[in-house]
Amino acid sequence: MSHLILQSPSLSAAHVEQIAALVSASGVQELGPTAVRLLEADDSEKESVAKQCEAYGMDFAFLPQIDLLREMRILAMDMDSTLVSIECIDEIADAVGRKAEVSAITEAAMRGEIKDFSESLRRRVALLEGVPETALLQVYEERLRLNPGAERLVQTAKKHGLKVMLVSGGFTFFTERLRERLSLDAAHSNVLEIVDGKLTGRVLGDIVDAHGKAARLKDLAEQLGATADQIIAVGDGANDLQMMAHAKYSVAYRAKPVVREQAAFALNYSPLDAILNWFRLSF
C-alpha cells in the first residue's frame, strides 16, 4: 500500500473519485485546489493509474511514505527547459538567424539521439561565432523566464535547509545570474569564449556533460554526507539521466520520453512546486 498524490492545474473531483476507486483508497486528503493525497492506495494498479492520468491531464506519484522535506539535503536542477522556459543556446542562435540549425541539434541531443553531448555542444557553439556578447544579455533580459513554480520550489527547499544546485550543459553567463537572483548554493555550467565583445564559437575548459552533471551532484552529496534517499534531482533531457540516477526523487519535468521512462516521477502538467506536495513541510 502507498500514498498516491494526484495533481493537475484543473483537478476534477470526478476524475479523483474514479482513480480512488481504481486503487481502493481508504480516504482522500485535499492538499490544495490542485492536489490530493489518496490514502492506502494499491500500487499494483500503477499502470492503470498512469493511463488514466494521461487521459485526464493529471500527474501522479506513488509514495510508500511521506518524507519530511527537511530530511532531504539536496535539490539539483537542470537549467534549460527545466528551471527556465527556454533553451538559451537556441535563443542566442536566433540573434544570427541560425536558430533552426541549432535547435535541431539541441532536440536530437535531448532525445538521446546524439550520444556525445560534448560534441553536440561544440557543433552548436561553433555556429555562434561572431555573435555579440550583448545578444546574451538580451536573451537573459527579454526571453529567459523561470518556469511556473520554480521560485517557490527553490525558496521552500532553502527554507527547509536543502542545498540548491543548478547543474547545466548551458552557459555561466546565465547560470551565474540565476545563482545570484535565486540565492542558489551552487551553479555549474560551461564557459563561452568571448574576445573583443564577440563569441569565438568555442567553449573554454571541460564541458559539463551528462557525466559532469552527475559528478557535480556526487561531489556535493559526499561533502554533505547525503544519501540518494535525501536527493531531489530534476531534469528534462537525456543528458540529465546520469545526474538523476543519484536521486531517490528523480523528476522528469516536461521531459523527453527517454527521461520520463527512467525517472521515478514525472511532472507533465503541474508546475515545479508540485514537487513539494510529495513531502511533509511541517517542522
CA distance linking residue 123 with residue 132, whole number of Å: 18
Between vectors from CA 85 to CA 81 and to CA 89, what angle results, nearest 5°? 65
Of the candidates 59, 78, 236, 240, the residue annotated as catalytic is 78
Cβ-Cβ contacts under 8 Å for 191 (sequence gap 6 or more): 171, 172, 203, 204, 205
CA distance linking residue 172 with residue 154, whole number of Å: 19
67 assigned to active site: no
Of the candidates 59, 80, 94, 209, the residue annotated as catalytic is 80
DSSP 109: H
Give 123-190 as a DSSP string: HHHHTTTT-BHHHHHHHHHHT--BPTTHHHHHHHHHHTT-EEEEEEEEEHHHHHHHHHHHT-SEEEEE
Q: Give bridge partners of residue 36 from the DSSP assignment.
A: 6, 30
80 assigned to active site: yes
Q: Which residues are catalytic?
A: 78, 80
